[in-house]
Each structure stands twice: as C-alpha cells, then as structure tokens.
Structure 1
C-alpha cells in the first residue's frame, strides 16, 4: 500500500450526492463507470497484492477444522458444481465455493484488515469474484477492478459507521455488515449490470448484513466474512434477474446507515469518491492474529531478537495497548486456538517463549503448552491513552532485575507500514508449500502476480485452482 494512503473520510459534504437518489446511487454510479485505467498505478498494484495475499490465506486455511466442517455440512447441498474449493480436489456450486473459500481465507485470522474499522474486505470479495470467474470469462484487469470496487465500497461503508463523527455498537462484526453490499457491487460490475441493477444489488446485499463479535473465538468468526461473500454474490445474481430493492437502501429512512449508525456519517461514502481510495488503508496481516494484537507481537519480537534471555528468566511482562486493543483482545485465559487469535496475553507469552510469531503460535498445542500457560500468568496489560490502535509498548522484567523495553507504532501490517511485496510472497509460500509443494507453490504465486495480464482468470492457473 505505497502511495495514495489516505486518512478516513471526514464529515465534509459528499461530492456527487444525488438528492433524488440519496447515497446508494452514487456508489452504484462509481461501480458502473470506473475503469481499470482510471485507477492510479499504486491502487492497481494493491489489488494484485490483496489477491496474492488472499490466495495464500485460502490455501493456509484449506485444511482448517472450520473449513473441513463447512465442506462436510455442504456435502449433500452442493453435490455438483463448477467452482473450486481451493486446496481440495472438489467442485462446488458457486455460492458454496464462495462460502468455503471465504471461510478458509479467514479461518487463521491471517487475511487483511481495514484497521480503523476492523473490517476484512478481501476475504469475501475475492472468494465471490473467483467463483463467478470460473463460470464466466473475466479478464485479469476486470477481476482486479471489481476487487477494488468492492473493497472501496466496503471500506467507505465501514467508515460511515465507525469513524468519528460516526459511531456504532462495538459488538457489530463490521465485515458482516458491509461485506455483502461491497461484494454485490464488485461482482455486479464484473457481470456487466446496469447502474440501476447495481443500486438493487447493493441494497440486496445490505439487507443481508449481519454479524457480531461474540462469534470471535469460534468457527463462526470466519463464517461471518465467508457468508458476506456468499450474500454479495447472491445479491448480484438476484439484481441481474431484475429482483428489485429500495432505491436508497443505504441512506433512506430505516435504511442501512440509520439502523446501524449511532449516528452514521454518510458523507464518508462519497467524499472524493473516485479521487482518493479508502481501500488503500487495507493491509495484509504479517501475523495470524487479530490486527489489534500485531503491535505487541512486533514489540515482543524485537525484544527476543535483540536480547539474550529465556522465558524462565521472565518475572513479569507488562503490556501497554490502546483502549480498543484491550477491549477487543483482552482474553486473559484462552482455551484454544480461536481464543488465541484475539488474546494479547497469549501472544505476548507465546512470542517470548517460542521467539517467533507463526501459525504454530496460534495453535491449540501452543495455547495448551504448560510453559506458555505459566508465562501467560505473568502478563499484565493496561490501557495507554496516548497509544493508537497500531501501537504498543512492552516491558519485560527479568528475575535478575533487568528491565527490557520496546515500543512499536505504527506496526508492520498497518496502512503506514504495509508489508513489502517480498514479505507478502514469503507469507504466501509459507502457507501454500505444505499443500502444493515448493515448486507448484512458486508457480502459483507467479500466476497470481501476473493476474493483470490474464485473459481468463478462471483458467489463469490450470492445475492450481482445481
């Protein structure tokens, strides 16, 4: 996410609002009229990076228990189809393939994040777009343009609900609310829907919005974004058949913004729409954990990499994090891997004990490791009002009296410090090699980087999608 990184939308008057049609129409107009060549080169490249990261995460989560359970449950319901569940020698119907691939991408909490709203836009988007692209020929540029359209609308909708002066109930799982309307717009564009049909598609997607954070720590944590992709694909298909919806399902009375915002900031939807890209604030995760855990993981890594000590030497671990960070990731006694994804206490202990932050540190084995459990008891966490969500401080007090300190902000994987292309590729290979082998994994990542030159995305990587 190099240049074109922007701050969340302000409360300035929205550009391009049509007072007759409200706020849904301008988003549909954007989705209908924008062209691949209109996008700044940095935005184009970020679409490729997002796809590379997504494919790696799907393969990384293909054998996750949640993914296997979902495929088992869908067995009789998806007996035939033409769409691929990545990492499995099985074809499914497009809606179910979207659900499974979206779930796999999200299962390890390793996908991407719009940090200011805690939304995860690419997991549902790419899953739906790939399912569609396996049925209908879609070029690489058209696929990537649809990805940007979806992620941009999701990001702006999320800002309209959460970024001041907007506010909403903290318990909403943002991807569950904003994923489906964004995906509907992206898939709808790929399908060649009219602007009127895109209005309906966005509305049909919005009316399926659902998800709350109590699902975190369970298989449903990945189901929410997965279902958002499925709902968005369904919305686009319904709109293509002229299934109608309210002309301003987003901004009208009792519409999306009014129902979920407390209050909303609808100006965030259209402020310089098509000129600045809020989706450039979406970043790939460097660690398999909730994004609010990342700054303390990085601080702990700095300490274990620069100082010589063992976990037995540690008397106490002191964490300072943002208010939001402690509020959403303060699970003190995680019981399993799902809990660990949103536990700063676990990750501090796991990183200091294992001296790394990989998928193994997010596993049940690590969570239940007696040494990690014992170290977790020595972790204390407090809120520091001066810290942003992408910042943290860590102090390790050793038994010999030494005090080791590190401070991180902004952390790797934030909009201000995105992962490099090399880091994104290394993450991809680490997840795909166990499934495909080193040679095929390398060939697949080359196909993904070359997506802008693909004539037919559904057949761009023969032998890999299937």
Structure 2
C-alpha cells in the first residue's frame, strides 16, 4: 500500500522542488513580514499575548533556540512559534485570503521565521519558504471548505506552515510527507473556536496549529513516521473533516508560487468580511451629516459575513474583544458613533458602553442572496441609513482598501506598522526593523532581522 496519498505527494514534491520567487512576490512577502511584526507589537498588552508570554516564561533560555519577539529570551522553536503567532493574530489585523475556506496566511510567518532562525536560514530562503507556505495554504482553501462542517480553517494554516517550515529545514521528500501526516492526523481543530462568545483562543488557535506544524517537522526530521494515507485513508481527512475528496493536482509542478499576490492586507482592525461595511458606513455617515440624524440602520450582506459575524446571538451583545471584532452589528455601530474604527474601539470599556448597546438595537442585518453570488470575488456590504427626517441614505462597497484589487501602498503598510508598533518600541528601532525587512532578500541569516525584533 502507498503510505503517501496524492495530496501529501503533491505538497511534498512542491516543497522539495525548485522554485523561483519573482520580484513582485518577494516584495509582497516583505510587506507581509512587516505587517505581521506591526500586528505583533500592537498586540503587546492583549490578554492572549500576555498569557502566552507568561506560559513560555517557564521554558526559556538565553543561550540557544528561537527568539520570543520583544522579550530578549529564547525557547524551543515550537514555543516561540506559539507566542509570536499569538501576537500576530491577537488583534485580528493580519492578512486574509477568501475562497471556499477563509485563511489568515501570515499566521504561518512566525513558524517559518522561528525555524529559519534555528536552522540558519538566509533571508532569501525565508522569502521562498513563506511564498511556498502561502501557495499550499491558499490552494487548500480553493479546494475545500471546512467551516460548514464545523472544522476550523487553521487546519489548512497548519499544513501550509508544515510546507514552509520543511522548506527552511531542508527536509527531504519522505521527511516532509511524514511531517504533513504527523500534523494532520493528530491535530484536527474544531470551528467551535469561532462560535458563540469568542474567547482568547480565537487569537491563539492558528498559533497553536503552527506550533503543531513545527513540532511535526522536528519529529519527522528525527525519524518519526506518521500515519499512512492521512487524507484518503479510511478514517482520514477527507471522510472525517472535509466530508469530500479534493485534489491539489498541478501543485508539484509549480515553479513560481504566486498565490500571495491574491491575498489581502487589512486596512481596518476588523474581521475581513466587515471591511466594506466600515467603508460604506463612513461614506453614508458623511451624507447623513451626523450620527444624531440616524433613526435606523440596515446592512445587506453576503452569507459568509452573515454566518460568521451576525448569526449568533452573542454577536449582538459582545463582551470580549474577540467577539466584538467578529460582530457586524457592533462594528457598524461603533464606526458610526465614533466616526471610524481602531484598536480602542475594542477596549473593554468601549464594548460595555451603553451608547453602543443602544445603537445596535437600531441595526438590522440581512443576508442578500444576490450579494452572496458575488462572493468571494467581491465582498459586498450595503449600508442603508434611515434618517429621522424620513430621508434614506444607502452606500454599497465591494472591494476594501488592502484587497489585491485595491492594494495598500508601501507607504500605507509602513504607516500601519509604525502606528501599531509605536506603543511598544521607539522610532529608531522601528526604522531599523523596516530597513531590515526591506533588505530581507540580502540578509545572510534571518537572525539579523530577528535580533532587532527580539530585544525587550
């Protein structure tokens, strides 16, 4: 019997094969690294990252291992992946890919950098590995949906991370294949993470998936073998998780990974399906003159947005940051009341404020089948304001800033990094990080970047 099924073979052959990263892909990888670092430092005081740093403090070394960013200490690469990954994800401000299954592919970056730091990878090798990880993760999202069967997208994040980490560890075909199996079979993650009232784990689930990926690669490198047929087997991923078979045919022959160019950067710190709702609400507010003029609000949206951001009762009375930034009624309400949305929109005090709770009672959210048909090519939200004078203002937005069809400029990416990281590190160090990221492809070792990032 063949131990490695077709999906494992396609991924493994791609990972160990030759790839050429074009200049446009290399530039985009650098933008995502900088964006991820900004998200990490911006999340420094978030409860999830504080808890992760506390947990890792019992397992640190100042001599060897992978760096815990911003702390000045080192630990094992799997622990570093977890803590750094929690920071990147905690604000829900890192990048996004939308297809049959959504993904936040930059969740993989801390794992690839941690492994690369330990294994002496160059900046160019890190860029290649990130492009490889994005290619695998996004193609999996194109192949199948998991959320509708109650499984979480981080299952695909984990497989993409395995691909990127195996690449920097320079594992062979069999080691890579076993790494995939050792990650997939033991670690199926449930969608309950994102149902009902959301906890700190919402910001940690992907970090844990990537930690599992690194651990699987370390085991496979040392000779551990994984279960046969992890996807196609009698009790494998297809039957247990995806509910259907799928193919990644053609991946192994890919020499120029480019899926990263189809992913999106976040301009606002909200779940991506709500991004155009923020844009539409702000434009409608300008036409209404003042929030005091608004009697009622109707938001027409698409299925994925409604299901993820409005279906659960908890989304209409959020009590945690994790629920609020995944609540379409809360996001629209706070945007209209505060004339915009930023990190402080999700402070405990703001979430609990009476004016937001009262305003949300005026909001109606409706799934529009016509808008659903336009997804994921467009993310259409239509915000209609019924004014107290009887007039109606309606604005529809389809492509948010940061989408690959409406990309943020390099200057906007850097401005976002500086605004987020300024709460933790000074301007001189921020500029040094920006310079290191800009020259990532020229660094002999990624440790040259990590050294600047890791200091307290």
TM-score, with normalisation over the residues of structure 1? 0.88
Match of 1:50 in 2: 32
Distance 1:210 1:392, change over 3 A: same
Q: How far apart, CA to CA, are the structure 2 residues paired with 1:135 and 1:90?
A: 14
Q: Any stretches of 5+ residues in structure 2 without a counterpart?
A: none
**3-state SS of 2:133 partner:** helix
**3-state SS of 2:424 partner:** helix
Match of 1:159 in 2: 142
Match of 1:4 in 2: none
1:297-319 Cα deviation digits (max 9, x unpaired): 11112233x33633222111110
Equivalences for residues 248-287 of structure 1 within 5 A: 248-267=229-248, 270=251, 273-274=254-255, 277-287=258-268
Match of 2:308 in 1: 328
CA contact (8 A) 1:156 1:269 kept: no
**3-state SS of 2:165 partner:** helix
Match of 1:22 in 2: 6
* CA RMSD after TM alignment: 2.3
Match of 1:187 in 2: 165
Match of 2:111 in 1: 128
Match of 1:7 in 2: none
1:211 to 171, 176, 189: 189
CA contact (8 A) 1:160 1:264 kept: no
Equivalences for residues 103-114 of structure 1 within 5 A: 103-114=86-97
User: 1:32, CA displacement in angstroms?
Assistant: 0.6
Q: How far apart, CA to CA, are the structure 2 residues paired with 1:141 and 1:257?
A: 35
Determine if the alignment matches structure 1 residue 70 to structure 2 residue 48: no
1:233 to 214, 220, 224: 214
1:460 to 407, 432, 449: 449
**3-state SS of 1:435 partner:** coil
Q: How far apart, CA to CA, are the structure 2 residues paired with 1:397 and 1:269?
A: 51
Q: How far apart, CA to CA, are the structure 2 residues paired with 1:225 and 1:245?
A: 22
Q: Any stretches of 5+ residues in structure 1 without a counterpart?
A: 1-17
Q: How far apart, CA to CA, are the structure 2 residues paired with 1:360 and 1:100?
A: 23
Match of 2:67 in 1: 84
Distance 1:178 1:153, change over 3 A: same
1:370-404 Cα deviation digits (max 9, x unpaired): 22222111111101111135111001122122322
Match of 2:226 in 1: 245
Match of 1:313 in 2: 293
Aligned length: 440
Distance 1:274 1:92, change over 3 A: same
TM-score, with normalisation over the residues of structure 2? 0.90
**3-state SS of 2:295 partner:** strand
Match of 2:335 in 1: 351
CA contact (8 A) 2:12 2:252 kept: no
Distance 1:97 1:381, change over 3 A: same
Q: How far apart, CA to CA, are the structure 2 residues paired with 1:208 and 1:280?
A: 31
1:155-189 Cα deviation digits (max 9, x unpaired): 22232222xxxx763432111x1122221221111
